[in-house]
Amino acid sequence: AAGVIQSPRHLIKEKRETATLKCYPIPRHDTVYWYQQGPGQDPQFLISFYEKMQSDKGSIPDRFSAQQFSDYHSELNMSSLELGDSALYFCASSLATGNIQYFGAGTRLSVL
């Protein structure tokens, strides 16, 4: 069965650079979630979208923005990167809100 696809899998950036992470949800899933997981920490919710509209917002820095497109894929844009942004970024998708969330393999971002 198709799963959540994230790209790129690994990303290395310098401080103050920008990064764009992409997420393709499971087919027919209409809700996308973004989570950030620092080393040795649990995943922290950043933001979610339902039917292309932002549905919830968590601890996402103002330097980050995200959107969901007409084909339901989502992009997380990160600007003015800081060393502390180094983490695993997971995208998850579900069929409508409140249902089981399935996670992608993640993007490992390293900021040097």
Partner 1 sequence: QKEVEQNSGPLSVPEGAIASLNCTYSDRGSQSFFWYRQYSGKSPELIMSIYSNGDKEDGRFTAQLNKASQYVSLLIRDSQPSDSATYLCAVNMVRETSGSRLTFGEGTQLTVNP
**Binding interface with partner 1 (CB under 8 A):** 31, 33, 35, 41-45, 48, 50, 55-58, 88, 90, 92, 94, 97-106, 108
Q: What is the DSSP string of 4-65?
A: -EEE-SEEEE-TT--EEEEEEPPTT--EEEEEEE-TTS--EEEEEEETTEEEEE-S--TTEE
Beta carbon nearer to partner 1, 41 or 77: 41
Beta carbon of residue 45, minimum distance to partner 1 (angstroms, whole number): 4
Beta carbon of residue 73, minimum distance to partner 1 (angstroms, whole number): 17
Beta carbon nearer to partner 1, 79 or 95: 95
How big is the CA angle at 56 (ends 82 and 98), to the nearest 5 degrees?
A: 125
Beta carbon nearer to partner 1, 10 or 28: 10
Beta carbon of residue 78, minimum distance to partner 1 (angstroms, whole number): 19
Q: Where does residue 54 fall: left (phi above 0), alpha (psi -120 to 50 degrees), or beta otherwise?
A: beta
